[in-house]
Amino acid sequence: MAQTISIGTTQHIDFLKAKLGRELKKFKRNGMKIELEERPAGKFTFLAFRITDQESTGYSREATHIVRQHLADIISENIISYWEDSLLQDIIRDNYYYFGEEEKKVIYNYALRHMNRDGNECRNTLYWLNRKSKILHKVLDFMHQSNRIIIDGFIKFRLKEYTNELRDAADKAVDDFLMEREYREFVNLLKYFVDIQEPKVEVLHVLIRGNGTFKLYDNNLQPIRSDYLEGYLTDLADNEINYEDLLISALITIAPGTIILHYKKENGLCATLDTIKNVFYGRVSECKGCSLCLSTLRLN
Tens of pLDDT, residues 191-244: 999 999 899 889 999 988 767 678 888 888 888 876 666 555 444 444 445 678
- 50: part of which helix (H) or strand (E)? strand 44-53
Structure confidence by residue, pLDDT tens digits, 249-297: 889 988 999 999 988 776 667 888 899 999 999 999 998 778 777 765 5
- Domain map (residue ranges) of the chain: 3-189, 203-299
CA separation for the pair 214, 224 (Å, rounded): 12
List the end-to-end C-alpha distance of the chain, in Å, as a whole number: 81
Cβ proximity of 175 and 114 under 8 Å: no
Distance of CA 46 to the CA centre of its chain: 34
Kindly report, residue by residue over 28-39, the tens digit of the pLDDT: 777 777 888 889
CB 218 within 8 A of CB 204: yes
pLDDT of residue 56: 53
pLDDT per residue as tens digits for the range 73-98: 999 999 998 999 999 999 999 999 99
pTM of full prediction above 0.85 = no
pLDDT above 50 for 176: yes
pLDDT at 57 over 70: no
33: buried, middle or exposed (CB in 10 Å: 19+, 13-18, 0-12)? middle
A 10 A CB-CB count for 151 gives 23
Q: Each residue of 118-166: pLDDT tens digit?
A: 645 566 678 888 999 999 999 999 999 999 999 999 999 999 999 999 9
What does DSSP say about strands 44-53 and 3-9: parallel, antiparallel, or unpaired? antiparallel
Strand 203-208 relative to strand 214-217: parallel, antiparallel, unpaired? antiparallel
